[in-house]
């Protein structure tokens, strides 16, 4: 161990930092590819036939229409004009546990970026050691205690950008988590709206079925009376009994749909079904939007969080190529230390530079780089598949909305016809032209038509919400908006 003169450690550290900073400026080389965002889809349409039907005026009366190349402003569910839905939606956004987990994951990813960024700064540590040693030089061996204590500074020059690529990779992972959070936000809001529609639909259908059962029981009572007086057969009684039994089977599934929707809304709000009960929604609480904004495919590729998540994953894979490539090149590290050594030895300091480079690793480093390139290719295919699937989902929903309008129009005609038939039968009954059984049959036909109309209207609400979800639901940056809202 060579003794040298003592100098202030602060001066030594400043010298090391200045040298490191100068070398960093001089070593701006970053190996590996620089990430470029994938091109957006060139297509101008999702489904030309569906768009033609929904843009034109040849559809059924009251049919919904789309406004192409238009974007949703604000919260997508506000188009339904329901203050009750807004309240439940806000409660779900504030209390949903999946969103809370996503927030924590984002914070974790941000800390990983900060941790990787520390690699570009000098690393300062403190070391201390002590022991007992035996020296065999001189006239006779001697044994003595020793200690050494002091700070150490090291700095990696990152000549080929391996650390910077690692920071880029971690930053892309943090961006991925943000888009994943936006996707969770979109899923949660979509589920809240869907469950609210299903709850309202179940309650409306339950009311219609209960009215239907009232008519069935009246019908059975009249048939039994007629059988008593000989104007109806036992077969007529059996048919009326069977009809009542069949219609009674309609009620339990609807009650289950109602209760399941209520429970789902509680869970979406982060509460147990017994701890918080969602309000009872009615179909009258919602207004069906007449005009639906539909962005072009090129905009969807920049709006949908799952596509942006896949893009961030592609960025991660690109940066990983740079990390693996940098491992093939030398590393230059500067280190400095200052130690107080004793007893009776004094102060030691040292500054050293170390250059290390790979020579032979059995093909491991090159294999790692090839694997990172393969991972990028897989991520690119995954991104492209996500884009294609998103375009297909929008096309499916546009066709669904088109067919929903046709079905609702048909159900409206059926309901109007049943209502007219019921009115005429009641008038004929009051005039003594027909019996009560015919009136009850007309009432049953009306209630069944009403159930069909409710289901068709529910499908319109559900598919309208799905269109907003498929287009991205204006969810980009939802995490930042939620954070800002929570800080108000």
Q: Outline where 56-161 has alpha helix (H).
A: 83-95, 97-117
Torsion of CA 302, 308, 311, 313, to 10 degrees: 170
Is residue 460 within 8 Å of residue 288, measured between CB atoms?
yes
Q: Which of the 8 DSSP states describes residue 271?
A: -
What is the distance between the alpha carbons of residues 189 and 96, in angstroms, rounded to a whole number?
10
Is residue 474 within 8 Å of residue 74, measured between CB atoms?
yes
Query: For residues 403-416, b (16+ Cβ closer than 10 Å) or e, as one string?
Result: ebbebbbebbebbe
- Sheet holding 346-356: strands in order across? 123-135, 142-156, 331-342, 346-356
In this structure, the chain runs to a length of: 488
12: enclosing H helix or E strand: helix 9-26
State residue 36's pLDDT score.
Answer: 94
**Tokens 């604000």, located at residue:** 74
Is residue 181 within 8 Å of residue 479, measured between CB atoms?
yes
* Confidence band of 290 (pLDDT split at 50, 70, 90): very high
State residue 5's pLDDT score.
Answer: 34
Query: For residues 76-91, b (16+ Cβ closer than 10 Å) or e, as one string?
Result: bbebbebebbeebbeb
Whether the pLDDT of residue 55 is over 80: the answer is yes
Q: From residue 9, give the alpha-carbon distance in Å to each of 121, 148, 149, 198.
A: 18, 15, 13, 72
The SS3 of residue 457 is helix
pLDDT single digits (tens) 59-72:
676 789 999 989 88
The SS3 of residue 67 is strand
What is the distance between the alpha carbons of residues 69 and 224, in angstroms, rounded to a whole number?
63
What is the distance between the alpha carbons of residues 345 and 309, in angstroms, rounded to a whole number?
60
State residue 245's pLDDT score.
Answer: 94
Query: For residues 258-296, b (16+ Cβ closer than 10 Å) or e, as one string?
Result: beebbbbbbbbbbbeeeeeebeebebebbebbeebbbbb
Whether the pLDDT of residue 346 is over 80: the answer is no
Structural domains in the chain, sorted by start: 9-136+143-486 (1.20.1600.10)
What pairs with residue 349 in β-bridges?
338
Max mean pLDDT among 111-125, 141-155, 248-262 falls in 248-262
Q: Outline where 348-363 has alpha helix (H).
A: none
**Tokens 């309240």, located at residue:** 87
Mean pLDDT of the chain: 88
Q: From residue 231, give the alpha-carbon distance in Å to each of 120, 218, 223, 236.
A: 98, 17, 9, 10
Q: At 69, phi and psi to the nearest 5?
A: 60, 35
Query: For residues 29-47, b (16+ Cβ closer than 10 Å) or e, as one string?
Result: ebbbeebeeeeebeeebbb
User: Would the CA dihedral through 74, 79, 81, 85 be positive or negative?
Assistant: negative
Tokens matching residue 455: 């289901």
pLDDT single digits (tens) 362-420:
999 999 999 999 999 999 999 999 999 999 999 999 999 999 999 999 999 999 999 99
Which has more confidence, 340 or 278?
278
pLDDT single digits (tens) 34-52:
999 999 999 899 999 999 8
State residue 150's pLDDT score.
Answer: 83
């Amino acid at each position: 161990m060579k003794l040298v003169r003592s100098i202030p450690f602060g001066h030594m550290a400043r010298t090391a930092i200045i040298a490191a900073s100068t070398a960093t400026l001089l070593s701006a080389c970053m190996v590996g590819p620089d990430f470029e965002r994938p091109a957006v889809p060139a297509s101008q349409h999702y489904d030309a036939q569906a768009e033609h039907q929904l843009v034109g005026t040849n559809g059924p009366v009251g049919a919904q229409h789309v406004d192409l190349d238009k974007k949703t402003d604000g919260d997508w569910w506000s188009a339904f004009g329901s203050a009750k839905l807004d309240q439940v939606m806000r409660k779900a956004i504030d209390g949903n546990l999946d969103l809370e987990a996503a927030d924590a994951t984002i914070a974790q990813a941000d800390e990983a970026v900060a941790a990787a960024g520390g690699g570009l700064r000098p690393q300062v540590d403190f070391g201390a050691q002590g022991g007992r040693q035996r020296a065999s030089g001189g006239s006779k061996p001697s044994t003595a205690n020793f200690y050494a204590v002091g700070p150490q500074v090291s700095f990696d020059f990152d000549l080929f950008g391996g650390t910077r690529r690692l920071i880029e990779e971690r930053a892309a992972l943090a961006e991925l988590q943000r888009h994943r959070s936006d996707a969770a936000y979109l899923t949660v809001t979509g589920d809240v709206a869907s469950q609210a529609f299903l709850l309202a639909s179940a309650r409306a259908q339950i009311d219609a079925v209960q009215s239907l059962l009232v008519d069935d029981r009246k019908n059975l009572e009249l048939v039994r009376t007629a059988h008593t007086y000989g104007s109806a057969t036992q077969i007529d009684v059996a048919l009326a009994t069977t009809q009542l039994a069949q219609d009674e089977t309609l009620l339990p599934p609807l009650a289950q749909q109602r209760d399941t929707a209520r429970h789902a809304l509680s869970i979406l709000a982060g509460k147990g079904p017994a701890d918080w009960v969602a309000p009872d929604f009615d179909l009258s609480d919602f207004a069906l939007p007449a005009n639906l904004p539909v962005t072009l495919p090129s905009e969807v590729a920049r709006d949908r969080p799952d596509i942006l998540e896949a893009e961030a994953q592609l960025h991660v894979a690109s940066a990983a190529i740079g990390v693996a490539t940098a491992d093939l090149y030398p590393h230059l590290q500067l280190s400095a230390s200052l130690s107080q050594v004793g007893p009776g030895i004094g102060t030691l300091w040292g500054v050293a530079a170390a250059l290390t480079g790979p020579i032979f690793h059995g093909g491991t480093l090159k294999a790692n780089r090839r694997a990172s390139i393969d991972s990028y290719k897989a991520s690119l295919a995954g991104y492209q598949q996500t884009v294609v699937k998103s375009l297909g989902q929008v096309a499916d929903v546009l066709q669904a909305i088109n067919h929903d309008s046709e079905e609702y129009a048909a159900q409206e005609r059926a309901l109007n016809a049943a209502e007219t038939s019921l009115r005429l039968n009641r008038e004929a009954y009051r005039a003594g032209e027909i019996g009560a059984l015919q009136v009850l049959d007309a009432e049953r036909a009306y209630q069944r038509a009403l159930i069909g109309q409710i289901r068709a209207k529910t499908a319109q609400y559900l598919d309208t919400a799905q269109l907003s979800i498929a287009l991205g639901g204006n969810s980009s940056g939802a995490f930042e908006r939620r954070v800002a809202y929570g800080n108000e």
